[in-house]
Amino acid sequence: MKILILGSGNMGLTYAQSFLRGRIVTAEHLMILSRTYEKANLLSQQHDGHFFSDPQYCVPDADLLILAVKPQDSKRLFEQIRPFVQPGQVFISIMAGVRMRNIAEALGAEKIIRAMPNLPAQIGSGVTAFTSTDAVTRIELVMVQNLLNTTGKTLYVENEDMIDASTAISGSGPAYVYFFMNAMIEAAQKMGFSHSEAELLVGQTFAGAIDLYHNSDLSCGQWIAKVASKGGTTEAALSVFEANALHTDIIAGAEAALARARALGA
């Protein structure tokens, strides 16, 4: 099986490295399309695989093509590769908001898979929601899931609308976590800790809390109740969060991300 990754940004290269590390594909059968010859040439000196800047030399030979460009660049990409698309090729899109029907119409293809990975995929700890058109076979879906599993966990959804929802939750989610962590680091510094001390305290607090959550059957609400004793320090902090509608604002932020994901595909 020959795989072509169209786009050599962070996610494109993350997939390339993950596939090779997981031995899903060999460097001989991995191709990456970059926007310019200069970048393709530079990357070819730094990474395994075959790098191209002209779609005519790689698109026709690929069995599986991964569309890994920004959604605003999708129209330009479609125009570039459409003349070279072959019958039976399978396309995986990780472009936020771009609907499968639009990809199918633009490329004259039937086998489309839409996926939404997130940033921790770079270290094999990501989560990817994905769905597919009816033309994709069960064998092809299993093959694709094996590929996606090299970057973390996967979740198949029947309804394409849930890909936009996963964009708002898991796709954008790491930034929400970093936003909260950054505020806690600033609070720790105001209390007298150095920046490095604050990063250690906050980073390990988040890591430990997540590990504890994954190694138990308790819900987040139950863990909150365990930490927040009546009249204690945690309850004081949570009272401020509630008074400032932080819980509601987080939900509103995720809903804004969902609206934007839908707008990108309009």
Same domain, 185 and 225: yes
Nearest one of 134, 10, 135 to 18, comparing CA atoms = 10
Res 265 pLDDT > 80:
no
Same domain, 180 and 248: yes
Domain final residue, candidates 158, 189, 209: 158
Flag whether 167 is in a domain. Answer: no
Flag whether 168 is in a domain. Answer: no
Rounded average pLDDT over 115-122: 93
Same domain, 139 and 188: no
Residue 184: pLDDT band with limits 50, 70, 90: very high
**Per residue in 205-255, pLDDT tens?**
999 999 999 999 999 999 999 999 999 999 999 999 999 999 999 999 999
- CATH number of 105's domain: 3.40.50.720
Question: Percent of the chain beyond pLDDT 90?
Answer: 83
Residue 86: pLDDT band with limits 50, 70, 90: very high
Domain housing 109: 3-158
Alpha carbon distance 229, 240 (integer Å): 15
Residue 266: pLDDT band with limits 50, 70, 90: low
Reported pTM: 0.87
**Per residue in 39-77, pLDDT tens?**
888 888 888 889 999 999 999 999 999 999 998 899 999
- CATH number of 256's domain: 1.10.3730.10
Same domain, 253 and 204: yes
Alpha carbon distance 48, 201 (integer Å): 38
